[in-house]
Amino acid sequence: MSIRTERLGAVIQQDLGEILQQQYQLSGSFITVTRVRLTPDLSIAKVYISVFAPDRDPDTIFQHIDEHTGEIRYELAGRIRHQVRRIPELHFYVDDSAEYVNKMESLFKKVKKERKKRDNREEE
């Protein structure tokens, strides 16, 4: 990616994070924009979102965001209209990197526990 796309991606990430936190956050949930990837022509932005909602189904939150994509894009346009000619089309995706990290950590703990058991058996 070029420096321009990276910078614009960072600006979009920050602005979308604020927009989602202020206006489209459902009660009891926490929405984080973790990454924004732009196409080279700046026409499409892939927005990766992480949702923490202990008492809700995250799918309903994503459905709510998908239903309001046009409004979110309009809000974003008001913030970045002086920086780009065309406002990128927004595509929202689930960011499951936190789940992946938790899964890997549990696997490492399991391996560590099994090594400890094996070492104890060898000492006996």
pLDDT of 57 reads 77
pLDDT of 111 reads 87
For 6-24, write each residue's pLDDT tens digit. Answer: 999 999 999 999 998 887 6
Residues in the chain with pLDDT < 50? none
pLDDT of 102 reads 76
Token output for 80 = 């970045």
| Domain count across the chain | 1
What DSSP assignment string belongs to 60-115? HHHHHHHHTHHHHHHHHHHHHTTT-SSPPEEEEEE--HHHHHHHHHHHHHHHHHHH
Token output for 55 = 């008492």
Residue 67 inside a domain? The answer is: yes
User: Scanning the structure block, which residue is given the tokens 């809000």?
Assistant: 75
pLDDT of 15 reads 94
Beta-carbon-side half-sphere exposure of residue 115 (alpha carbons within 13 Å): 6
**CA separation for the pair 39, 57 (Å, rounded):** 31
Does the pTM exceed 0.85? no
| Cβ contact 66:44 at 8 Å | no
Residue 24 inside a domain? The answer is: yes
Residue 111 inside a domain? The answer is: no
User: Residue 50 sits in which domain range?
Assistant: 3-96
User: In this structure, what CATH number is given to the domain that contains residue 56?
Assistant: 3.30.300.20
pLDDT of 47 reads 95
Residue 71 inside a domain? The answer is: yes
pLDDT of 56 reads 75
**CA separation for the pair 85, 42 (Å, rounded):** 9
Among 115, 103, 102, 69, residue whose Cα is nearest residue 88: 69
Residue 46 inside a domain? The answer is: yes
Residue 76 inside a domain? The answer is: yes
**CA separation for the pair 10, 30 (Å, rounded):** 20
Residue 118 inside a domain? The answer is: no
